[in-house]
Homo-oligomer: A and B are copies of this chain.
Amino acid sequence: MAKAKIAVNGYGTIGKRVADAAQAQDDMEIIGISKTKPNYEAAVAHQLGYDIYAPAANLEAFEKAGMPAAGSIEEMVEKADVIVDCTPGGIGKSNKALYEKAGVKAIWQGGEDHELAGYSFNAVANYEGALGLDFVRVVSCNTTGLCRVIYPIDKAFGTKKVRVTLARRATDPNDIKKGPINAIVPDPIKLPSHHGPDVKTVIPHIDITSAAMKIPTTLMHVHTVNMELKNECTAEDVRQVLGSQSRVRFVGQGITSTAEIMEVARDIKRPRNDMWENCVWPDSITMHEGELYFFQAIHQESIVVPENVDAIRAMMELESDGAKSILKTNKAIGL
* Residues B209 and A213 in contact, CB atoms below 8 Å apart: no
Q: Closest residue of chain B to A291, judged by CB? A: B209
- Chain B's nearest CB lies how many Å from the CB of A141? 14
* Residues B189 and A283 in contact, CB atoms below 8 Å apart: yes
A111 cross-chain contacts in B, Cβ below 8 A = none
A191 cross-chain contacts in B, Cβ below 8 A = 284, 286, 288, 293-295
Q: Report which residue of A189, A209, A256, A291 has the largest number of chain B beta carbons within 10 angstroms of its beta carbon.
A: A189
CA distance A163 to B225 in the complex (A): 11
A325 cross-chain contacts in B, Cβ below 8 A = none
* Residues B184 and A222 in contact, CB atoms below 8 Å apart: yes
CA distance A286 to B187 in the complex (A): 14
CA distance A183 to B256 in the complex (A): 10
* Residues B209 and A257 in contact, CB atoms below 8 Å apart: no
* Residues A215 and B167 in contact, CB atoms below 8 Å apart: yes
A 182-222 contacts with B by CB, 8 A = 182-187, 189-192, 207, 209, 211, 213, 215-222
| Interface set of A (CB-CB < 8 Å, partner B) | 161, 163, 165, 167, 169, 180, 182-187, 189-192, 207, 209, 211, 213, 215-222, 224, 226, 256-260, 281, 283-284, 286, 288-289, 291, 293-295, 297
